[in-house]
Chain A
Amino acid sequence: MALLEVKDLKQHFTIKKGFLGEKKKVKAVDGVSFHIEQGETLGIVGESGCGKSSLGRTILKLIKPTSGDIFFGGKNITHLPRKEMKELRKDMQIVFQDPYASLNPRSTVRTILETPLIVHGAGNRQERMKVVEGLIDKIGIRKDQLDRYPHEFSGGQRQRIGIARALTLNPKLIIADEPVSALDVSVQSQVLNLMVDLQKEFNLSYMFISHDLSVVQHISDRVAVMYLGKIVEIADVDELYRNPLHPYTKALLTAVPLPDPTKKRDRIILQGDLPSPINPPTGCAFHTRCPAATPECKMETPELREKAMGHWASCIHVHPEQSTKTKIHIS
């Protein structure tokens, strides 16, 4: 049984401009289904405005879903009352992009790490300190630094503190929303390595949200590609990167500049920008930029279908038998 299962999840916001302005609907998440196994990392990748962050927040129920179902450990938690949800939050934690903004600047690291334990009434002070000290040892922060404030640490250290805070209650799932995007590359790799180590040690599941395809490839077991609120492709990481089926995934992968001047690729350059999620295009939302679009794409909304074993894509022009022929090489 999957640890997390999401079925046809929708998150529609109404935005109202001004005092008497007209209402508009933004379909931030529009019918998303997937699952995450215990100990597995699912990467969610997409460009800004594709709904990947909203998806994370909806699953944690930081924002209420418009419709759909969320199962955690087999239990439907979509309409769980507040009290039970609080209990459940122990098992699902979030790590944010900006470690500085998400740590209270007026609290010491000790307080920051102890607070979740207090809130959930775990142990006495001595026991709590034992947990805290055990954690900071794992993230490479010394005991004598515990009484310092967040601004006394570097960006990488702060992000590690953010991760430690998420781990205090022994969660099963961590939703990491662009956890390394604000960090320099050398520090980014420190944090990524730490996350991999912690996953092994605690058998954690990660939902790793990022715009960076290389980072997602590095850390994920499976990857979902999002475009305008929908998952357009989902597959095992190696399969997805070696054999992308959806035209958008292909374009994304070839667009990433490779840190290797000897490799030249045929790049698929998409025309135009991401359409606004307020008025997404009809049919396949990608048809306005798709190099392979046909008139049908404008009419027909494609469904996410299994095109090969464990490889799902939503494009009417990708047929199961074809999927092996369209390999592209990115390495």
Chain B
Amino acid sequence: MLLELNDVSLSLKRDGKYVKILDEISLQVNKGETVGIVGESGCGKSMTALSVMRLLPEKAKLEGVINLDHEDVTSYSKRKMEKIRGNKMAMIFQDPLTSLNPLHTVGRQIEETLILHTDLNKEQRKQRVIELLNEVGLPRAEEIASEYPHQLSGGMRQRIMIAVAMACNPSLLICDEPTTALDVTVQAQILDLMNHLKEVNEMGIIMITHDLGVVAEVCDRVVVMYAGKIVEQANVKELFLNPKHPYTKGLLESIPKLGVKKAKLGSIPGMVPSPDKMPQGCRFFDRCSSAMEICKGKTPPMSSVGEDHTAACWLYEEKGGEMNGSSGSEGLEATLHN
């Protein structure tokens, strides 16, 4: 296993008090696997990624275990963390224009990763930059290396970001909405490139997105998040064909699908609760069409609802209890903690 998150919780200081943003997130990423994290804005998917990278604001309280190659990185010193960032794990962000330094040439920005983590000399670094630019599908690499971000198009800029991330052959690549800011034809190019790089480099990828189309296209496994908690996990086919959690079902029904014209879209009433006013029990309770009495007071535990498929919903708890006794009691403990 490449990456393992165990009961990771995160609190951030907002207006003087700590607010829990992530609540006991557990997930795994294997080598060569792409795990999608989906959810709507504010569900904590980006914060999960930033927790792994430890790129959190000051005064963030991070609890739980984050194992990278079986080593807990939450205990790493600042220095040690700097050594693996950009090296063993790298990250790509949503908006490539604002994510690149406008005053440095793109070549220099790719080279910086090499300066930080390798012993290559200047000539070798220059060579590697050209190599990387070619790998991410940018022709006339020498010219592009000496250009500035504003001189490139959106798609090219995201390719540069990918080159920056790939410079030291990371074993874990985290992509935070990497194609959201791009046009659809350019998005297709970038997804294509990422699929190609994944095959070549055997990386583990975390793909954070709100776009279920992107998930279906590139992910092997999917984690659905809602209001700071994981509500469902499954392999991609299972999730799309056989969604269990009412939230996942609601999401899938509310997207218009190309080639299928429906009179009316499904929708989820109400809105996401804010982190400082999290309801007791299941956080989806007041928007859920199958809510029961128990959902109101008790947090549903993660239970197994199929092969490699878990969901946190009281609808499946009985079945889950039979199949996996321990998860039920864990859930109760979690309830007590809250």
Interface residues of B (CB under 8 A from A): 40-41, 153-156, 183-189, 191-192, 210-217, 236-237, 240-241, 250-269, 271-272
Partner of A262, one of B188, B192, B237: B237
Number of A-B contacts (CB under 8 A): 137
- Which partner residue on chain B sits nearest A47 by CB separation? B183
CA distance A269 to B191 in the complex (A): 10
Near B by CB (< 8 A), chain A positions 162-197 give 184-190, 192-193, 196
CA distance A261 to B237 in the complex (A): 6
**Would you call B215 and A259 a contact (CB within 8 A)?**
yes
Partner of A185, one of B154, B184, B236, B251: B251
**Known interface pairs A193-B267, A218-B262, A262-B237. Does A269 touch B252 (Cβ–Cβ under 8 Å)?**
no
**Would you call A331 and B260 a contact (CB within 8 A)?**
yes
Interchain nearest-CB distance for A318 vs B (Å): 19
Interchain nearest-CB distance for A189 vs B (Å): 4
In the assembled complex, 17 residue pairs joining A and B whose CB atoms fall closer than 8 Å, in A order, are: A154-B271, A184-B40, A185-B212, A186-B267, A187-B267, A213-B184, A218-B261, A252-B184, A253-B258, A257-B214, A259-B255, A261-B217, A261-B237, A262-B241, A269-B185, A270-B185, A289-B185
CA distance A189 to B265 in the complex (A): 6
CA distance A259 to B248 in the complex (A): 13
**Would you call A185 and B185 a contact (CB within 8 A)?**
no
Given the complex, which residues of B lie within 8 Å of A270, measured CB to CB? 185, 188-189
Partner of A259, one of B188, B257, B262: B257
Given the complex, which residues of A lie within 8 Å of B259, measured CB to CB? 217, 241-242, 258, 330-331
Q: Any chain B CB within 8 A of the CB of A237?
A: yes
Given the complex, which residues of B lie within 8 Å of A324, measured CB to CB? none
- Which partner residue on chain A sits nearest B271 by CB separation? A154
Partner of B250, one of A48, A186, A242: A186
Given the complex, which residues of B lie within 8 Å of A252, measured CB to CB? 184-185
Q: Any chain B CB within 8 A of the CB of A35?
A: no
Partner of A260, one of B184, B186, B254, B257: B257
Select the residue from A185, A214, A217 with max chain B CB neighbours within 10 A.
Answer: A185
**Known interface pairs A193-B264, A261-B237, A269-B192. Does A214 touch B186 (Cβ–Cβ under 8 Å)?**
no
**Would you call B251 and A186 a contact (CB within 8 A)?**
yes
Q: Any chain B CB within 8 A of the CB of A274?
A: yes
Q: Any chain B CB within 8 A of the CB of A61?
A: no
Given the complex, which residues of A lie within 8 Å of B266, measured CB to CB? 189
Interchain nearest-CB distance for A58 vs B (Å): 22
CA distance A199 to B265 in the complex (A): 15
**Would you call B216 and A260 a contact (CB within 8 A)?**
yes
- Which partner residue on chain A sits nearest B43 by CB separation? A184
CA distance A157 to B40 in the complex (A): 16
**Would you call A259 and B212 a contact (CB within 8 A)?**
yes
Q: Any chain B CB within 8 A of the CB of A238?
A: yes
**Would you call B184 and A255 a contact (CB within 8 A)?**
yes
Given the complex, which residues of A lie within 8 Å of B262, measured CB to CB? 218
CA distance A213 to B258 in the complex (A): 7
- Which partner residue on chain A sits nearest B186 by CB separation? A273
Please give 14 more A-B residue pairs, beta carbons under 8 A apart, in addition to A47-B183, A274-B185: A47-B185, A156-B271, A185-B210, A187-B267, A187-B271, A189-B253, A190-B267, A214-B213, A217-B258, A251-B185, A256-B213, A261-B240, A269-B188, A330-B258
Interchain nearest-CB distance for A249 vs B (Å): 11
Interchain nearest-CB distance for B219 vs A (Å): 8
Select the residue from A187, A267, A331 with max chain B CB neighbours within 10 A.
Answer: A187
CA distance A214 to B259 in the complex (A): 8
**Would you call A259 and B154 a contact (CB within 8 A)?**
no
Partner of B257, one of A192, A255, A258, A261: A258
CA distance A157 to B211 in the complex (A): 22
**Would you call B256 and A192 a contact (CB within 8 A)?**
yes
**Would you call A214 and B156 a contact (CB within 8 A)?**
no
CA distance A185 to B253 in the complex (A): 10
